[in-house]
């Protein structure tokens, strides 16, 4: 089983190889920008799909709407470049809001992004299958299983590690950019030498709704789906090679320029060729047929690269969701296992949760993006607004060189994104936005509840100043011939009880602490000496793992001790905190359960679980 997993996901990476897992800008651009760049495949169509409700004449408003969205893209990109400079370790909305606005707003930003990342993965993959069915209509009945298959493939690529993901995504992303550029160039050539710049009349469609401000705002909010994924670069600065912040800023600017030009090209060609949304073919496919021809290899290339980038756009969510979940777990707003780093130096539990959540959305929507797109931009604009508001507070508080200009830039970004957020909520409320409006507060309440339970549980197991920390092995006339190896996950009451039990049944007790990357072995040893001392027969052994796993070093240590002393009996003592409430089991002992499974795999082990029952 282990060898199969290694073949599937790749060999473990050493911690020292984490720098090798970072990417140059040319690879980081596709892994963090595939969502934003791919949105040109459906953003224009989303806006046209609303305008067509007012009849064919209303489609001419697509260009002013596109221009407004492009202006908004520029404002947000320039605002986030300042965020990257201020937060070179990663300046997502959660981090910025937490440090400048407080816990409540930061949790709202986090909940909004968790929803948005899930929708990003699902919508991108469903839109990718629609691009494929536009090319091969016979696949229309199989859109849902195809989207699920693509989801599994993207998840597998990410479980193999960020370096492999960047390499896998670079070629399709750049190929799509090249195809849209060719579409624009060939289209411009056709307009200049054959078609002219007089727009074709769109197909005659009878109006179902009056053309008014409300419908225009609905079309604008649908078109704003082009802006999802812009924050991913600010959130993933650590993915870049040094100097990471400068590379991320340049990449943000390049991505913004590419997105704006591609969006303008698709919307402009759609208007000039009189393209209207149809259930059989996407807007981009219709433009491709007009420019390249239905049977042209270039049209096939356009559709295939559209499929690939829309499938890979889900990777923005797979890059952002696990990192955000890990930050929330480190702050105890999510179970700690969400922050565990796998052997491939990725947050594998976060990837697994996103796979399940996005798969659920695909099944519920049955491969149709119509409902999901209506919810798409609400979460991201909530995060935009809170992030930029947090930056305004930061500049006001620090008041460093050039702070007034920086403050005004972020204030403009916060104000404009807040206005767009209000537009989205009002115009899309009846079309499904109400679900996100309800989901975000519920998620915030859940995050707060988890943090409250962590505080209660950790207070219950924490050692207090008045606790008796004395540990002594009793004086025995006849040795019992047993050595206890005590796994020490932390210095707490369950650990103390496990050590005390071990001293009663063994002649020698070895407390084994596997140090994580952010723990200082010298500080741990000093604390042990200060609190426990150096009683005879009791020692602390500190182990460091070359890999991300904190379990393998302990398992290997046990095996080595048994091989070194085959005449001795070894008892593995493991502390276990037992909460009174079932939900608290998700917050405690998860690493201990996995540790026992690892030891069970080696067989012939004598286990003792020392249970510490937490008070209510």
Q: 201 in the Ramachandran plot: left (φ > 0), alpha (ψ -120 to 50) or beta? A: beta
Per-residue pLDDT of 385-400, as tens digits, reads 999 999 999 999 988 8
Residue 186 has pLDDT above 90, yes or no: yes
Residues 235 and 243: their CA atoms lie apart, in Å, by 16
Give the end-to-end CA distance of the chain in Å, rounded to a whole number.
Answer: 40
Which tops the pLDDT comparison, 170 or 441? 441
DSSP 3-state assignment of 14? strand
Q: What is the DSSP string of 82-99?
A: HHHHH-TT---HHHHHHH
**CB-side neighbour CA atoms (13 Å) of 61:** 22
Per-residue pLDDT of 421-445, as tens digits, reads 888 888 878 777 788 888 889 999 9
**Average per-residue pLDDT for the chain:** 82
- The pLDDT assigned to 269 comes to 93
Average pLDDT over residues 45-63: 87
The predicted model scores a pTM of 0.80
Task: Find all residues with CB under 8 Å of 563, minimum gap 6, and list them.
Answer: none
Per-residue pLDDT of 354-392, as tens digits, reads 999 999 888 887 766 766 776 777 888 888 899 999 999
Residue 4 has pLDDT above 90, yes or no: no
Q: What are phi and psi of 355, to 5 degrees?
A: -55, -45
Tokens of residue 168, six digits: 């896998």
**DSSP classification of residue 192:** I
- The pLDDT assigned to 446 comes to 92
* Domain boundaries defined on the chain: 2-451, 482-613
Per-residue pLDDT of 558-595, as tens digits, reads 888 888 888 788 888 888 877 777 776 667 666 666 67
- The pLDDT assigned to 605 comes to 64
Residues 288 and 291: their CA atoms lie apart, in Å, by 5
Q: 23-37, 103-117, 247-261: which range is least confident on average?
A: 23-37
**DSSP classification of residue 537:** T
Confidence of residue 298 (pLDDT cuts 50, 70, 90): very high
Residues 587 and 332: their CA atoms lie apart, in Å, by 9
581: number of Cβ within 10 Å: 12
Confidence of residue 256 (pLDDT cuts 50, 70, 90): very high
Residues 171 and 419: their CA atoms lie apart, in Å, by 37
User: Domain 2-451, what architecture?
Assistant: Up-down Bundle (1.20)
Residue 353 has pLDDT above 70, yes or no: yes
Residues 549 and 545: their CA atoms lie apart, in Å, by 7
- The pLDDT assigned to 474 comes to 67
The H-or-E segment that residue 546 falls in is none
User: Domain 482-613, what architecture?
Assistant: 3-Layer(aba) Sandwich (3.40)
Confidence of residue 2 (pLDDT cuts 50, 70, 90): very low
Q: 87-96, 376-385, 530-539, 595-604: which range is least confident on average?
A: 595-604
Residue 53 has pLDDT above 80, yes or no: yes
Average pLDDT over residues 337-356: 77
């Amino acid at each position: 089983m282990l060898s199969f997993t290694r073949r599937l996901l790749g060999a473990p990476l050493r911690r020292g190889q984490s720098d090798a897992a970072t990417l140059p800008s040319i690879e980081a651009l596709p892994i963090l920008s595939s969502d934003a760049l791919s949105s040109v495949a459906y953003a224009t169509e989303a806006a046209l799909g609303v305008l067509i409700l007012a009849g064919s004449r209303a489609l001419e408003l697509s260009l002013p709407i596109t221009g407004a969205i492009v202006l908004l893209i520029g404002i947000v990109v320039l605002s986030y470049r300042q965020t990257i400079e201020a937060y070179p370790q990663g300046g997502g909305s959660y981090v910025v809001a937490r440090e400048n606005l407080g816990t409540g707003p930061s949790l709202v930003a986090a909940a909004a992004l968790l929803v948005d990342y899930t929708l990003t993965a699902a919508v991108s993959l469903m839109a990718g299958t629609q691009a494929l069915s536009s090319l091969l209509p016979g696949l229309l009945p199989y859109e849902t299983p195809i989207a699920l298959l693509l989801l599994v493939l993207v998840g597998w690529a990410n479980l193999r590690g960020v370096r492999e993901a960047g390499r896998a995504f670079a070629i399709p992303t750049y190929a799509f950019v090249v195809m849209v550029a060719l579409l624009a160039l060939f289209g411009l050539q056709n307009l200049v030498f054959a078609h002219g710049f007089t727009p074709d009349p769109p197909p005659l469609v009878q109006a179902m709704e009056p053309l008014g401000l409300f419908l225009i705002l609905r079309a604008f909010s649908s078109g704003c789906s082009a802006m999802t994924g812009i924050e991913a670069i600010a959130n993933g600065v650590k993915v870049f090679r040094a100097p990471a912040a400068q590379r991320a800023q340049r990449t943000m600017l390049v991505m913004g320029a590419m997105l704006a030009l591609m969006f303008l090209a698709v919307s402009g060609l759609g208007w000039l060729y009189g393209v209207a949304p149809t259930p059989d073919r996407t807007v981009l496919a219709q433009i491709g047929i007009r420019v390249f021809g239905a049977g042209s290899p270039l049209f096939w290339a356009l559709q295939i690269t559209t499929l690939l980038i829309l499938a890979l756009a889900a990777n923005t969510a797979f890059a952002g969701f696990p990192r955000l979940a890990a930050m929330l777990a480190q702050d105890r707003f999510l179970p700690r296992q969400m922050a565990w780093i796998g052997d491939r130096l990725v947050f594998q539990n976060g990837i697994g949760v996103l796979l399940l959540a996005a798969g659920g959305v695909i099944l519920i929507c049955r491969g149709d993006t119509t409902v999901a797109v209506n919810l798409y931009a609400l979460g991201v604009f909530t995060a935009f607004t809170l992030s930029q508001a947090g930056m305004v507070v930061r500049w006001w508080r620090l008041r460093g060189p050039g702070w007034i200009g920086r403050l005004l830039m972020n204030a403009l970004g916060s104000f404009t994104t807040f206005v767009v957020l209000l537009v989205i909520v009002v115009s899309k409320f009846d079309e499904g936005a109400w679900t996100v409006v309800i989901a975000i507060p519920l998620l915030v309440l859940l995050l707060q509840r988890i943090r409250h339970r962590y505080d209660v549980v950790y207070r219950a197991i924490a050692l207090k100043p008045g606790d008796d920390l004395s540990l002594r092995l009793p004086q025995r006339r006849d040795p019992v011939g047993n050595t206890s190896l005590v796994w020490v996950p932390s210095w707490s009451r369950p650990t103390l009880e496990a050590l005390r039990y071990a001293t009663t049944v063994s002649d020698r007790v070895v407390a084994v602490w596997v140090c994580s990357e952010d723990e200082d072995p010298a500080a741990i040893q000093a604390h042990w000496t200060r609190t426990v001392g150096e009683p005879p027969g009791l020692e602390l052994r500190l182990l460091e793992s070359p890999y991300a796993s904190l379990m393998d070093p302990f398992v290997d240590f046990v095996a080595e001790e048994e091989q070194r002393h085959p005449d001795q009996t070894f008892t593995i003592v493991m502390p276990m905190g037992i909460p009174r409430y079932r939900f608290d089991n998700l917050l405690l002992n998860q690493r201990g359960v996995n540790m026992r499974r690892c030891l069970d795999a080696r067989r012939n082990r004598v286990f003792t679980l020392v249970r510490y029952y937490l008070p209510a």
